[in-house]
Amino acid sequence: MNFGQFLLRRLFLMIIVLFGVACIVFFIANIIPADPVGAILGGNAPPEAINRLKAKLGYDQPLIIRFGNFIAGALRGDFGVSLKTSNPVMKDIMNYFPATMELAIVAIIISIFLGITLGVLSAVHRNKAIDQFSRIFSILGVSMPVFWIGLLLLLVFYFKLGWLPGGGRLGFFTYPPPRVTGMYLIDSALAGQWDTFKEALLHILLPAFVLGYNATASIARITRASMLDVLKQDFIRTAKSKGLKRNVVIYRHALRNSMIPTITIIGLVFGGLLEGAVLTETVFSWPGLGRYITTGMLFLDYPAVMGGTLYIAFIYSLANLIVDILYALLDPRMRM
């Protein structure tokens, strides 16, 4: 089963998984005992106005037809029109998703860098100060709710110290860079606007750290465990017997081997990030897909919630596929 077949099989599986997710999403959206039209019209609207709008939006068609339209649309990338913003959901997603993606990418970079360093240090200096610190740090990461940590850091770094900005993607009066990818860091770099880049970076640090905190904790734990495992292997003893310096043994030999289980965790953890965005974006007023779905949830804006969730599931599966490919590249034993 060469690489091509491996890829094909995985893509096929991904489509099935996404189809399953679409069914779950559609099932949930239509079973919730509340009608979206009422939500849009607000409290005061009389029943007649509601029924008129319901008919107009085709909510009175039987379930099966609506499901068929939804799936057909999803394949074409058209999730219908959002009840709230009244533009096609896909347009909204394209508008909001880069913000979430940028946040997730910076978060994953921070958590990989921090997570692996902490993991390696605590494995190499087992049960010493750094090990205890990193375990407490990861325990805190797993035990405190995201919004609590977010508010606390905002309070300290923005309100009391004023080192970092309060929220949002850019300063209130900075002009967003010309849109290429929708990610301000990349767009401003491409356009050479370095002060906007600096400002975007300052704005993304805190939310990315908070979003990535949980991921950092998990990566640190896994790296530590797999590092301890690898350091016990025979080939480490061989490397030492070749008189290689300690750091060379750790970073050239041990680290590369312990990367393999860590990579798989990064795939899983990335999923957690996309979903953690829902809370982090609210706390840091970050106009991303997470908030689009939550506000959609508040308004039972079915098309938006269905489209957004399906899109996140798609990105999650894609990320996992990439991780598996990385896994194969890193571990020669996997390459048949």
The verdict on 181 binding other proteins (CB under 8 A) reads no
220 alpha-carbon distance from chain centroid: 18
* Stretch touching other proteins by CB under 8 A, among 70-78, 104-112, 116-124, 288-296: 288-296
Cβ count near 174 (within 10 Å): 17
Compare residues 114 and 222 and give the one whose CB is closer to other proteins: 222
CB of 160 to other proteins, least distance (A): 10
- Using CB under 8 A, which residues numbered 203 to 232 contact other proteins? none
Angle in degrees, CA 169, 173, 178, rounded to 5: 65
* Stretch touching other proteins by CB under 8 A, among 69-77, 115-123, 205-213, 282-290: 282-290
* Stretch touching other proteins by CB under 8 A, among 12-20, 68-76, 181-189, 205-213: 12-20
Handedness of CA 143, 146, 150, 151 (dihedral sign): negative
Compare residues 65 and 195 and give the one whose CB is closer to other proteins: 195
Angle in degrees, CA 124, 125, 131, rounded to 5: 110
- Using CB under 8 A, which residues numbered 17 to 56 contact other proteins? 17-18, 20-21, 24-25, 28-29, 31-36, 38-50, 52-53, 56
Q: List the one residue from 8, 72, 156, 298 that touches other proteins (CB under 8 A).
A: 298
Compare residues 190 and 240 and give the one whose CB is closer to other proteins: 240
The verdict on 261 binding other proteins (CB under 8 A) reads no
Q: What is d(CA 80, CA 82) in angstroms, rounded to the nearest whole number?
A: 7
The verdict on 192 binding other proteins (CB under 8 A) reads no
Crossing angle, helix 302-330 and helix 255-283, to 10 degrees?
A: 170
Q: List the one residue from 172, 192, 247, 336 that touches other proteins (CB under 8 A).
A: 172
Three-state DSSP class for 149?
Answer: helix
The H or E element that residue 266 is part of is helix 255-283
- Using CB under 8 A, which residues numbered 110 to 169 contact other proteins? 139-140, 142-148, 151-152, 154-155, 158-159, 162, 165-169
Q: How many chain residues are in contact with other proteins, going by CB under 8 A?
A: 114
CB of 265 to other proteins, least distance (A): 12
Half-sphere exposure of 186 (CA within 13 A, CB side): 12
- Given a contact cutoff of 8 angstroms between Cβ atoms, the answer to whether 85 and 92 are in contact is yes
Compare residues 50 and 322 and give the one whose CB is closer to other proteins: 50
Q: What is d(CA 87, CA 35) in angstroms, rounded to the nearest whole number?
A: 20
Residues 59-88 vs other proteins: string with x where CB under 8 A? -------------------------xxxx-
The verdict on 5 binding other proteins (CB under 8 A) reads no
The verdict on 264 binding other proteins (CB under 8 A) reads no
Q: Which one-letter DSSP state was computed for residue 170?
A: S
Q: Which is nearest to 111 in space by CA: 226, 222, 202?
A: 222
Cβ count near 323 (within 10 Å): 18
Half-sphere exposure of 315 (CA within 13 A, CB side): 22
Q: Which is nearest to 94 in space by CA: 207, 183, 201?
A: 183
* Stretch touching other proteins by CB under 8 A, among 104-112, 117-125, 184-192, 235-243: 235-243
CB of 116 to other proteins, least distance (A): 16
